[in-house]
Structure formats: structure tokens, C-alpha cells
């Protein structure tokens, strides 16, 4: 059974080479926000001869196709997250810690905007910036 990311890549007219498949597998199976370097390391465990340039080109392709999106998480820098669904973070200005949370009341706003503007919303990103408990005292 073909994974959703692979379908999106193929339907856009791109080939599913073994190196690309390794990158897609890492992104689809990960439940964390990975940096490109982490994607490279994990994908090389699947396809050992995978090169850095291929990983970065594949990530750029997936961003352009709207499959993943870059997010910037404090000191970790750019990480990747799936574009669909909701993602919610508290990010500390002081230490760069990132706290992910599930509670979200944006659902009603999503529905209202989608209906009013005839727009198919597939995901959202909500980030609050401030100072964490450890840093504010």
C-alpha cells in the first residue's frame, strides 16, 4: 500500500526513487519534529548511500508540494512537520525549549473561515512565544 506522501509526489509527476522513498518513510513514521540533519541520519539507516543533497532536494520538493512545512523551534532551528492537521507550541525566548500542546480551540475558527471564504483548510500552526517556568524566575 502506497503511503500518502508517496502518492502526492507521484501525482505531481515526480519519480519515487529509493532515496526519496527513504526520506518519505522517515518523515511519515516519525512522530517528532526532525531537523534536515536528523532526517538524513535516519534515512541513511534505510538507504546507506543516500546523500545530503538528495535529502535537502526532497525536503524542498515536499515543502513546495505542501506535504511538509518548516517550523523554527528555538535553538534547534528549522524542523519539519506534516502540513496537515494542527500543530501547537509554546517556545521560550530564553532557553529555546519547546512545549508541544494538544488543546486547541481553533477548530471553530477553521470551520467559519473555510465556509465563509470557500477555502479547504488542511492544517494550522499555532505558536506562542514567551518565557518558560524555569527561565522566568
pLDDT digits (tens, 9 = 90+) for 85-119: 777 778 888 887 778 777 777 878 888 898 999 99
Which residues, at least 6 apart from 129, have a Cβ–Cβ distance to it below 8 Å?
90, 91, 93
Closest by CA position to 95, among listed 70, 79, 76: 76
The three cell numbers locating residue 29:
513514521
- Choose the final residue of a domain: 49, 75, 101: 75
Neighbouring C-beta atoms of residue 94, cutoff 10 Å: 12
* pLDDT given for residue 3 in this prediction: 67
* Alpha carbons 83 and 23: distance in angstroms, whole number: 16
Asked, for residue 109, whether it belongs to a domain, the answer is: yes
List Cα–Cα distances, 130 to 89, 101, 105, in angstroms.
Answer: 11, 15, 20
Q: State the pLDDT confidence band at 1, using cuts at 50, 70 and 90.
A: very low
Asked, for residue 24, whether it belongs to a domain, the answer is: yes
Query: Do both 19 and 65 map to the same domain?
Result: yes
* pLDDT given for residue 99 in this prediction: 81
Please write the tens of the pLDDT for every residue from 25-81.
999 888 788 999 999 999 999 999 999 999 999 999 999 988 888 887 767 778 888
Query: Do both 68 and 95 map to the same domain?
Result: no
* Alpha carbons 49 and 25: distance in angstroms, whole number: 16
* pLDDT given for residue 69 in this prediction: 84
Amino acid at each position: 500500500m502506497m503511503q500518502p506522501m508517496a502518492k502526492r509526489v507521484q501525482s505531481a509527476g515526480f519519480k519515487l526513487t529509493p532515496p526519496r522513498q527513504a526520506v518519505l518513510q522517515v518523515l511519515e513514521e516519525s512522530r517528532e519534529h526532525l531537523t534536515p540533519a536528523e532526517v538524513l541520519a535516519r534515512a541513511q539507516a534505510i538507504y546507506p548511500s543516500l546523500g545530503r543533497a538528495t535529502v535537502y532536494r526532497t525536503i524542498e520538493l515536499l515543502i513546495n508540494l505542501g506535504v511538509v512545512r518548516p517550523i523554527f523551534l528555538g535553538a534547534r532551528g528549522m524542523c519539519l512537520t506534516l502540513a496537515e492537521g494542527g500543530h501547537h507550541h509554546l517556545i521560550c525566548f530564553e532557553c529555546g525549549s519547546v512545549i508541544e500542546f494538544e488543546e486547541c480551540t481553533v477548530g471553530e475558527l477553521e470551520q467559519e473561515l473555510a465556509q465563509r471564504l470557500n477555502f479547504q483548510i488542511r492544517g494550522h500552526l499555532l505558536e506562542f512565544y514567551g518565557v518558560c517556568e524555569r527561565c522566568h524566575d
